[in-house]
Amino acid sequence: MEKQPDNISLKAHKIHKYFGGVKALEGSSVVVTKNKLISLIGPNGSGKTTLFNVISCWLSKSHPDDFIEEPEDEPKLQTRILKTLKKKFGGNEETDERTEVGYVDFEDLRLDGLDAHEAALTGMMRTFQTTRNWPKLTVLENLLVAPQNQTGESFTNIFFKRKQINEEERKNTLKALEILEFLEITHIRDQIGEELSGGQLKLLALGRLLMTAPRLILLDEPMAGVNPTLGNKIMDKILELKVDSTIFLIEHNMDVVFNYSDEIFVMASGKIIAQGTPNEIETNKDVIKAYLGVDY
């Protein structure tokens, strides 16, 4: 694999994703620079979450030739067979093939083709638009199951490294308590996951992420359902994370996007239609058209 420039965290190149007859992504490409906050915006249904799903390996990408409009008539089927044969027997050059079918690189790792749990071990983490957690565990316990590579996870370690495990548990608990305090949810630390409100679940998801200190963080609408004061505080904390991490953010709150982003990608109907600084995007006519559906 071609080595990525050192300042690039993530490169998703020409990603396609089809759901039956729906083209959710049509050759979308993004390049995310390290230690920046990059936003992905676009109207509802434009493909933002699908792109995150492909990047984090929750969904596999489609082959660009796989989309066939219904009904499958004879000539199209032949074209498809020919293309499949070409794919199989033509162009062995690794870089050509890779460019043709699209790819996702995170630093020097190729992500597409991995399982979601494998991708999660690379230092890239995401939150979900619909928040997931352990419904029967308390808020504090939910934070404590987040850190990876804990010494206690290996059976032998449980016997031989008891002291080290205690020390790690103590450190993790202190860290979790600090995070609860920062997110202003200390008062619900003993409540179980399934009892939480939508806003509280968003905060818990962010807390779980803060426990693991990933190098790349994908956030899918972290502000939805959170009150504006706390929302701004969360954004300030996310900005602090830029020292060690790169943030890729999907957000509908345009105040947040334009105030906090270093760069913005705009998506419409599965394609990236614009990319630039907040100032550049604010005045981009294609962007205004995509949102308002009118020519300017």
Ligand X SMILES: Nc1ncnc2c1ncn2[C@@H]1O[C@H](COP(=O)(O)OP(=O)(O)OP(=O)(O)O)[C@@H](O)[C@H]1O
Binding residues vs ligand X (CB under 6 A) = 19, 22, 24, 42, 44-50, 129
Q: Smallest gap, in angstroms, from Cβ of residue 221 to ligand X?
A: 7
Q: Smallest gap, in angstroms, from Cβ of residue 22 to ligand X?
A: 5
Q: Smallest gap, in angstroms, from Cβ of residue 104 to ligand X?
A: 16
**For residue 61, is it left (φ>0), alpha (ψ between -120 and 50) or beta?**
beta
Distances (CA, A) of 140 to 26, 184, 186: 41, 13, 9
Residue nearer to ligand X on the CB measure, 49 or 62: 49
Supply angle C-alpha 220, 33, 206, rounded to 5.
30
Q: Choose the binding region for Mg ion from 25-33, 45-53, 235-243, 288-296 (rule: CB under 5 A).
A: 45-53
Residue nearer to Mg ion on the CB measure, 42 or 193: 42
| Tokens coding 219 | 């956030």
Residue nearer to ligand X on the CB measure, 80 or 271: 271
Nearest-CB residue to Mg ion? 49
- Three-class SS state of 117: helix
**Site for Mg ion, residues 125 to 144, rule: CB under 5 A:** 129
Q: Smallest gap, in angstroms, from Cβ of residue 129 to Mg ion?
A: 5
Q: Choose the binding region for Mg ion from 43-51, 134-142, 235-243, 251-259 (rule: CB under 5 A).
A: 43-51
- Does residue number 49 form part of the binding site for Mg ion (CB under 5 A)? yes
Residues whose CB falls within 8 Å of the CB of residue 8, separated by 6 or more in sequence, listed in order: 31, 32, 33, 34, 105, 107
Q: Smallest gap, in angstroms, from Cβ of residue 218 to ligand X?
A: 12
Supply angle C-alpha 286, 39, 186, rounded to 5.
145
Residue nearer to ligand X on the CB measure, 9 or 50: 50
Burial-class residue 202 by CB neighbours within 10 Å (0-12, 13-18, 19+): buried
Which of 147, 124, 129, 149 is CA-nearest to residue 56?
124
**Site for Mg ion, residues 245 to 264, rule: CB under 5 A:** none
DSSP letter at 8? E
Interface contacts to Mg ion, rule CB under 5 A: 49, 129
